[in-house]
A and B are shown apart, each in its own frame.
Chain A
Amino acid sequence: MEEPATDSAAAPAAWWGSLDVAQGKAVHYGIGPLALWIARRPNEWRVVYGHEHPLAGSPGLTANVELPQDFEKLRAARFGVGHAHTALQISPVMPDKPVITRPRSAITIPAVESVTLFVGCPVWVRLVEPEPGRLLMDVPSSRPVLTWWGENTLDGEACYASRTFGKLRLDKSEPDPHRVITAVQVDNQSDAPLVIERLHLPVRSLSVFAAADGRLWTEAVRLIRKEGQAFAELRVESDPGTAAGKAKRVGEPRHTHHANELVRAFGKLFRM
C-alpha cells in the first residue's frame, strides 16, 4: 500500500492521496470524528463509516484491519465492480450544501469597514476509483446537521449548520484534520452598519487547500455589501489568503463558481 503524501514533517500526516487495498483486505481511516473502513472484495468495494463508533477519532490510516461487527450502528455502502483494480484515490471536498455560521452573538461591521472572519466547517471525504476515474462516494467527516436558511418557513433552503461560530482571529490551536477554514472578508461599503447574525457561505464552489502546518483551507472569499442591496457580491479569490501561508490545492470544488455572483449572504436570527 502506498502511504499518502505528507506535506510537512511537523504537520499531522495527510490523510488524502492514493492508496491500494489488496483483494480481501480492508483499511481503516480515522479523520476527526469519522471512522471509515474501505474493504476490497471480489467484484466489490465495501465502505463502512460512522461518527459515534469507538474507533472514531483514532487518527490516521491503519492497514489490514477487519470490518467492524457492529454494523447496525454504522452506515455501509457496497459498490459492485467488474474489474480487479485495487487503487483508490481519497481526497477532501467541501460539503454538498451551503454552510450557515452563526456567531455566538451578532457581529456588527461599522459603515465603510472591512473585516476578515474565519469560518470553519467539516470536510467531506471523497472516494474515487482512479481506474476508470469514477466517483464512488462522498462521506462527511462529522455528522452533518441541517438548518434552515430563509426569512420564513415558506421559502428558503436547507443548509448545513457550522458548529463553529465565526472568529475574527485565527486561534493557535492544533490543526484539525477534518475541518476546513475559509477566510471571509466582509466589505461593508454601505453607509449603514452591517449586523451579522447568520452567515451563508456557498461552499460547493470552493476547493480545498492544505497548508504547511496541516490545516485545511478553502480559497479566501470576499463578500461585498453595497448601499441599498439586499444581496452581497461574492468573489472567490484564487488562494486561501495570507493567513494560510503557502498552501497546495488537494481537493477540487463540486461546482464552478460564477464570477461576481450575488448571494443572500447575511441573515438574521430566525424568529417564529
Chain B
Amino acid sequence: MLADALGIVTAWFTAERIADLSRALVILVLGYGIARLAGRGLARFVQRGGEGRPVQLVQRLTTGIVFGLAAAWALAELGFQLGVLLGAAGVMSVAIGFAAQSSLSNLISGFFLFGEQPFRVGDVLEVEGVVGEVLAIDLFSTKLRTFTNHYVRIPNESMFKTKLVNYTRFPIRRLDLSVLLTYEESFERVRPWLLTAADRAEGCLMEPEPLCFVKSFEPHGLVIQFSVWCRKEDWLTLSASVPREVQRVLEEHGLKRPYPHYYLHMEPGAAA
C-alpha cells in the first residue's frame, strides 16, 4: 500500500515537473522581493509629497498587486489554466461583491478621498456634527480624535458623501464674535476700543485687519460683528484672549452691558 503511494508520488515528480516547481518557486521568491522593493519605493515617492499622504496604503497596495502578478505567473508555470481560475474568480467576486457591498463602497470612497485629498492627517474636521483631529486615513474608515479625547471611526463612504468642514486647511483662521451694545451707546465710540482689544489679544494678527461693523438691530441692543484673524495654531489662544480683552476694555471705559429690559408706560384711565 505504502509502496504504491510512494510509486505514484515518484512517478509524478518527473524531471519536467521538478523544473516547473523550481521555476515557480524562483518566480514567487523574486516576485516577493520585487513587490517589497516596489512598495517601499513608491511609498517613499509619495512621502515626498508631504505629511498626511496615504503612504502605508500605497505601500501595501503596490506590494500586494506586484506579488499577486508573480503568484499568477508561478501558477501558470505549474500548468494551472489562469483563464479558468480568473473565470472562477469572476463568479466569486460577484458573490463577494454582493456580500461585501458596504466594505467595497468604503474602499472605493477611500480611494477617491486619497485622490481628492480634502484633508490630511492632523487636520481638524467637522463631519456629521463631530469635530476632531484626523488620526488616520485607512482603507475603509477615517479615524478622528475629538477634543474631549474620544476616538471616532467614520466610514470612508460617509466621509465622501457628507458635507465636511476642514478648519485647518488654510494657514490662518478668522474668529467671529458678536458684541451686544445698548442703543444709548454709540458704535463709533466703541469701535476703537474693540480694536484696542484686538491689539492686546494674544495671537491676534494685525493683518488681515480686524473687522468691526453693525450686524443687526435686536430688541435689546445693536449687535456688533467683531472678527479677528489668527494663525490656525493660535486658534484656542485667540478664542480665549479676545472675549477676555473685549470685556476688559469695555469695563475700562465704564460701558454698561445690555440686558433684556422693557419699558412699561402707564396711561391714566387706560386700566382694564
Contact = CB atoms under 8 A, between A and B. Distances in A.
B203 interface: yes
A146 interface: yes
Contacts of A100: 207
B170 A161 contact: no
B229 A148 contact: yes
Nearest to B174: A153
B87 interface: no
Contacts of B204: 145-146
Contacts of A148: 172, 205, 207-208, 229
B170 A147 contact: no
B206 A147 contact: yes
Of B206, B211, B231, B234, the most chain A CB neighbours within 10 A belong to: B206
Interface residues of A, number: 14
Contacts of A146: 203-206, 230-231, 234
Interface string B145-179: 00000000000000000000000001110000000
Interface in B173-207: 199, 203-207
B199 A145 contact: yes
Given A146-B231, A153-B170, A158 B205 contact: yes
A270 interface: yes
A270 B209 contact: yes
14 contacts: A100-B207, A146-B230, A146-B231, A146-B234, A147-B207, A148-B172, A154-B170, A156-B171, A156-B172, A157-B171, A158-B171, A270-B207, A270-B209, A272-B208
Interface of A: 100, 145-148, 153-158, 161, 270, 272
Interface of B: 170-172, 199, 203-209, 211, 229-231, 234
